[in-house]
Each structure stands twice: as structure tokens, then as C-alpha cells.
Structure 1
């Protein structure tokens, strides 16, 4: 990473500038090198082409933070403030357009945003406040789901090969989403599979979104008639005037947040495997710190959805014209020498001033929930595995091509399961919540835990999801 003064740049200008494509093979392989090159050429803000659309790519920490906090109200997230879209110049088949047309609180502002965020704060509290019984039950469920997934791996033998992204890190948070949403088991598993199809933006993503929207609308109507101890019911109670359309669109945010969590789990696992000292000293407290450090070094949400200038704004070496979009790069901001150069990388606790959870009016309200799931997921994995080794060199791991996420497409490992029985889920949850007394990873690891097939009647053992996961098993 280049450190030192910026290269000489021309005065701020609104004149047209050439925009180079952002999403290239170089970017997929190592975005940090692309950030460095763009920074050297343009400074903290660079003109780029994003799938055929011109965008200002903001890489400076101070600049990203200023736009996120939006103190003067100079920036909007509403699609109708994008000049290119308002003038009909945005291609109707632009691949990212559906992302911006969801029209939930992610893209709202002002009083509408405040009301929706207040409802979310109230609805998430039972799941994030550990003094609430719902939060304790959810934590036990996370432990149970984690052990179930590891149990599927164990069915193939005490040692083998696994893709920890597809077989563990991604399904675990989406199972949690299923539970929080209050779906029945059969309906919930269909939803999980459609969530994957939508988030992967494959050829059937549009159809999957339509099914998901219909499922969320149906769920909202059912919860309005018969409330339960679940997120839709809590949202309805917190905002009684919410329409079914609004509710369905808001509920679609939860799977996205928890898929982010799955990506974070993968990134933490890579860090733990690659750093023997971190693994040897794992405890609940150390994992908390590992999660925070990975959020700083390799944030899963690398770039954020657009903001639009409401007036001409001087930023970096350019003046952003009113109506132009900026894409804020959290990953690039963390690599900004003005920020990274001030961090003590040898400190026991790394900085909490990073932007992985956002800042300002749209900061992440589910940070506590996502962090806790990630901590439990990593802890259960390294308790249950006695050995884990990357099946590829770290610099050859495959990343999902995405303008927003920095997420592994797969995480291939070779593993060995430890031989001691795993503690019951309720005991494990209590142990995992105690940062002072938690054991090291190998101490409580096990291979003999019950798999979904061994569980009581009513929990599907041959459901599409479990059949899919079992189909991925490979013994060594």
C-alpha cells in the first residue's frame, strides 16, 4: 500500500472525465491493488464505469464518513434523485437496477426513514438484548443449527473435505433468518433456497425475488391476523400502520444482513486458519476481537449502494455535479493511508472506528445480532474440529464477483473432527457466552453430535435444504 503525500492533481473540476471499468479481473483478484492504483491516479475520489454506468467511486476515509453522516443534507439515497435515471438515460436492463428498486428503508430518508428505523429498533430488541428470553433462545438455536450442520459433515466420516461457505457459513445465518421470520419448517426451507438464488443474482434470481416477495407478503398477512414471537409480528406491533407491501419489502432486508454475516464468518475462518497464534488463543473474547479485526481488514460489504448529490459538491479533486451517483467504498476507506497509517496493528484491541457497519442515518441496526451469530459460528466450528486446513493457498481462494460484496464463492478446507462428545446446545450456549472461561477450540470439539436425521419427528431429515447439504459431503 502506498503511503505518503498524494500525487499532484488538477484543481477541482466538473468537466467530463474518462471513466475506466471498475469490475475487472484485477478487481476480482485483489481490489486493494485497484484501490491503490486509482488513488494514485485520481486521489480519494475516482470516476469509474460500473457495468456501463458512470459513477464516482469514493475511497477516502474522511470523504466516505462525511457522506455517510450527511451533516448538511447534501446527499440522498432515493432513486428519483439520480439525474441519469430521471432523464431516462439509464438502461432498463442495467443488471443492478432491481437492487435500487426494492424501495425499502435502505433507500428512504427523512421522516419515513426515521419511522421505519424506529420500528426496526423495537423489533430487533428482543433478539439483540441478551436480557430478553427471545435473545437467549435464539442464541441456543444458533448453537444447535451450527452443530446440525457440522453433524452433516460428520456423517461422511471423522475426516474429509468441505466447502465451509456452502455447507456451513451461508446456510447457518439463513436458518436463523428463517427462525426470526417465523416460517414453518417446510415453507422456511423453500424461502432459504430462494434467498440464495436471489443473492447470487443468477438466471433465476428475478423469479426467486417474486416468490420471496409473495412469501413475505403472505407471511405478513398471517402475522397480522395471528401475531407471534417473531420479527414480522414485532414490526407490525411497532408500526401498526405499516402496509403489507412495506412490510414485505422491509422483511427482505433480514436475509441480506444475515448473508453478510455468513460472508463475515468465512472471512474470519480464513484469518483464524492462516494465523496459528489466533487459533491457539481462541476464546469468546478473542473471537469477538477477531470478528472486529476482519471487519476492518476485509469487510464483506466492500462497497455501499449509491448516494446522489442534491447540489454540486466539492470532493477530493473533483466537484460532483448535482444528480450524480457516488459509490462509497468501505474497503478502500479502510486502506486509506490517512486512516490505516494511524492504526496500531499490534494492539490487542483493534480500532472500532472502521465503517464496516456503516455510520450516520443508515448505519446497521443489526450489528449486535450479526456479530453474535458470527462469534458463535466460529467458536462452534473450532470446538468441533480438531484440524482445519485450507485446501487452496489463501491468495487463490475464489471470490464471488460483485460490485458490493467481498464474499468467498467457496471456502474449501480439509478437516478432522475431534472425538469427544459435544455438550448439549443449552450448555454450549452458556459456555459460549462466557468470555472468561470458554475453552480453546479443540477442548470441546466433537464428531458424535446428532445430525438432523437423528432429531425428533417433525424436523425434516430429507428436506430440499438438507438433501442439498448432504449432496456436498466429501469424505477423505
Structure 2
């Protein structure tokens, strides 16, 4: 196919091309290699096959910024997808459930502004540095992070562990539970079901039903007895939200905070250990927020944004994108775009804030400050207490998840050594409880989730089984 001046001929359509499959072993292990091959062949925008469905993948930074900042011309919303409306997308396409979710992340149309206003109002008390709830939340994050380190320390002053299962995943999940303002029993049941959903296990569909039912019940409870929590603040901002509508938003909050922040913490550890030295240098200098910013630039947790659909034909990169064709933005690929390389120069003391890890334009992530805070405090705790953290497997053997949305690890095997001055507390009652038989165990000694975490330390529970 020959290019004409300004790009490929305008009669080229997505359906007329033979796109390269995007999700495969190479993309799972080395997505940057796939991105660069596509960039060489197609330029800033490339046709790819996403599990049997052709879509456009945006690799160029300026092109991605243009799409994200022009929400009116490049809206979200499955109703805009021409091929789907014409029956050319399989009903059982595995990506469809995420795209059809009735929440702010996936929703298009005029309703977005109403929901976004509610989100911003509900998150403000937890993201405003001067608000007392922000200070309380930070204290709780530090306390929970220290508790998780303590549980790991009871395994021994040195050893090996899956840091994802024992630290980077449970910490933000526990924080998300606190934001909900649920009772301990309510939040822990929901948190463990969110784990099952995020892992796409065999009972994830049933877990999803349980979570929505639980969130619906929580929404009703907050309507009757509001408190100082996210759902109550959201209802105060938008009193006409139905319980079902609020339940979808609460489920999104659980997934966004727990999965995104959990991936970010694990990716940060990997970048600090194996990266070019800049993340470790900023960490050593006490610039932990800069460390996190460097990580979201180099290893963004959100690999591809929810698709956009142009309302009319328009050129993007080398191609003319037809109205109603799906356009996915590949976050890491845009950061590697040579046109933005000056902002990511290794000679700079700080990394650019112009990256797209949190999006851009009117749909920029509303919880970006919260996710950054959780990750910053988590890393602060880890590197305060451990003298050694190193990978227990070669970097090229890390088990990355295969996902059209996120770039995260299934597990993070590490070797660790506690600092000499770290004093291991007396054994927690939850650890002793995990070692006793079920008939001897006293449930009041520890919460359900903490007993499960203690069980992963003692080896009585498989960390991937819940």
C-alpha cells in the first residue's frame, strides 16, 4: 500500500486492511516492541486486531492528545460504534462487558457531566490536602501498609514472597473499602469478590453479581443514614441518583482504586529495581512523588484507554478514520513517541507531567491524586523497612497479565531483607489463628481479610485462591 501526500488514500477503510493481532505473547511480555513495529509500518495510528475485532490504535502523543481534548468530536459510548450497530461485532466478544459497563469510565453522552460533578464532589474530601479526612485517610494508609509489612516480617527477617499478593494488592483494596464507609463485614466480602473479578477467575461472573448486589444495598443504606464517605458525598451532590446507578459507580471506584493503584505500586517496585536508575535516585533523594510520576510515565498501569468514536470522518495520523470506528489510545506508546522524547530526557532532574497516564481533557481521571497518594505512601513504607528488595526471577520472566486495558503483574516474586533496626512485633493474633484448626479459631481476634492475609504468610492459604 502506497502513501499519498499527507497519508494513505482516503478510500482506505479499517475493514479493508489486514490488521496485526494485538494481544499475544509478545504484547504480553514486550508491548514496546509491538508498538514500535506498528509505528514503523503505519505511523502514529495503526490498525490492529483486538480479539477478532479490528480497531485503530493511537501510538502518537499529539494525536492522542487531540482525541482526548476533543471529547465532543471523539466521544465515548458504544452507541457510536457503527460496526456494532450493524451486527459486525460478535455478541460474545470478551471485551464487550467492560465497554458496556454503566459507569462514568465507559459512559458517553450528556450524562457524563452530571456524574463527573458528583465524582469530583465526593472525592474532594479525600484529595484536598487541607481537609481533615485526607489527613485521616493518609494515617490509615500508613497504618495498613505497616501492618502488611509486619505480617510479612513474621515469616522471617529475610526470605521470598509474592509482593503483589501480600502488599500491593491488599493495601489499595483496604483503602477502597474505607472510602465506601461500609461495615467491616460488608467491605471485606466486597473486597474479596473484587479480587475474584479482577483476576477473571471461574466464579468472576457470580462475584460481579454479588458485588453489585452489595453495592446496591450499601447505596440504600447511605441514602437512609449518610456518613462521611464517598457514596454519601456522591448522593449529596446528585440526590436523584438511583441506588442501582450509584452501585455501578461504587463498583467502578473499587476497581479503579484497587486495581490501578495496586498495579502502580507493583510497577514502581519493578522500575526502582530494574529501571534506568532515575526512579531509584528520586526515591533515595526523598522525592517519592517524583518516583511515582516517573513510573506512570515509563510503566503506566492503564495500557489502553476506553475507545473513542469520531462523529465524522477525519484524518488522524496517516489514515482517515471513518465516523463510528473505534479508536484506542495506547498510553505507553504515546509516551515513547519521539515527538515527546524531549520531555522524558534522562538529563532532566524531574520527569515530565505532560504524560497521558491519567488521561487529558474533560475526562481526566478524577482519582489521580488519590491513587498517587496511596502509591507514594506504600513505597515510602516499603523502602523504609526493607534493606533489600530484589526480583526473585529474571526481569524477562515476570508474569505480566494479558489484558486489553491494563499493564500489570499477576504476581511479583521478590527476595527481601528487613532493615537491621526493624523490630518485629510480637506475633499478631491473626497469625496464630491461621495456624490453629477451624474449631479452635476465635473469629473475634481478627477480621476475615486479615486472617486471610495472615494465612498467606504462614502458608496455610494460597494467596491466589481468594
**Normalized against structure 1, the TM-score is what?**
0.88
Change (3 A) 1:473 1:44: farther
Which piece of structure 1 moves more, 457-466 or 238-247?
A: 457-466
Report how far residue 210 of structure 1 moved: 0.8
Residue 327 of structure 1: SS of its match in structure 2?
strand
Secondary structure at the residue paired with 1:46? strand
In the TM superposition, what is the alpha-carbon distance from 1:342 to its structure 2 partner? 5.0
Whether the 8 Å contact between 1:75 and 1:310 is mirrored in structure 2 is yes
| Correspondence for 1:88 | 87
Structure-2 residue corresponding to 1:423: none
State the partner residue of 1:42: 42
1:204 CA displacement: 1.7
1:300 lines up with 2:306 in the alignment:
no
- How much has 1:173 moved relative to structure 2? 0.3
Q: How many residues align?
A: 443
Distance (Å, rounded) in 2 between the aligned partners of 1:409 and 1:401: 9
Q: In the alignment, what sits opposite 2:377?
A: 376
Deviations 1:376-397 (A, max 9, x none): 0001011111221210122221
1:252-283 superposed Cα distances (whole Å, 9 cap, x missing partner) = 12122221011111111112223677547636
Instruction: State the distance in 2 between where 1:229 and 1:452 align.
Output: 30
Instruction: Summarize the Cα distance change of 1:398–1:37 in structure 2 as closer, same or farther, 3 Å threshold.
Output: same
2:164 matches 1:165: yes
3-state secondary structure, aligned to 1:319: strand
Q: Which residue of 2 aligns with 1:21?
A: 21
Mapping of residues 42-441 of structure 1, within 5 Å: 42-70=42-70, 73-258=72-257, 259-274=259-274, 279=280, 282=283, 285-420=286-421
Give the Cα separation in 1 of the matches to 2:292 and 2:329: 22
Instruction: Give the Cα separation in 2 of the matches to 1:200 and 1:382.
Output: 27
Using the TM superposition, name which of 323-332 and 251-260 deviates more.
251-260
Closer, same or farther in 2 for the Cα pair 1:459/1:47, shift >3 Å?
farther
Relative to structure 1, is the Cα distance of residues 280 and 291 closer, same or farther in structure 2, using a 3 angstrom cutoff?
closer
8 Å Cα contact 2:223/2:232 also seen in 1: yes
SS in 2 for 1:57: strand
CA distance in 2, matches of 1:277, 1:459: 46
Show the counterpart of 1:440: none
> Could you say if the C-alpha distance between residues 157 and 24 of structure 1 is closer, same or farther in structure 2, counting changes exceeding 3 Å?
same
What CA distance in whole angstroms lies between the structure 1 residues aligned with 2:424 and 2:26?
41
For structure 2, the 5+ residue unaligned runs are: 433-441, 461-466
The Cα RMSD (Å) is 2.4
Q: Secondary structure at the match of 2:57?
A: strand
Q: Which residue of structure 1 lines up, in the alignment, with residue 424 of structure 2?
A: 447
Judged with a 3 Å threshold, the aligned counterparts in structure 2 of structure 1 residues 89 and 45 are, in CA distance, closer, same or farther, namely: same
- The offset of 1:172, in angstroms, is 0.4
**Residue aligning to 2:436:** none
In the alignment, the residues of structure 1 paired with residue 443 and residue 134 of structure 2 have an alpha-carbon distance, to the nearest angstrom, of 24
Q: Structure 1 pair 81/281, CA: closer, same or farther in 2 (3 Å)?
A: closer
1:204 to 1:465, Cα distance in 2 relative to 1, 3 A: farther
| Distance in 2 of aligned mates of 1:310 and 1:121 | 27
Q: CA offset at residue 75 of structure 1?
A: 1.5
> 2-side partners of 1:217 and 1:322: how far apart?
37
**Contact 1:305–1:327 (Cα < 8 Å) also in 2:** yes
Measure the CA separation in 1 of the matches of 2:131 and 2:412: 35
Higher mean C-alpha displacement, 214-223 vs 322-331: 322-331
Moved more, 283-292 or 94-103: 283-292
User: Can you list the C-alpha shifts for 1:157-184, whole angstroms capped at 9, x where unaligned?
Assistant: 1111111111100110010000010121
Shift of 1:14: 3.0
Distance 1:412 1:103 in 2: 36
Structure 1 portions without partners, runs of 5+: 1-6, 421-444
1:361 and 1:261 map into 2 onto residues whose CA distance is 22
CA contact (8 A) 2:166 2:453 kept: no
Match of 2:438 in 1: none
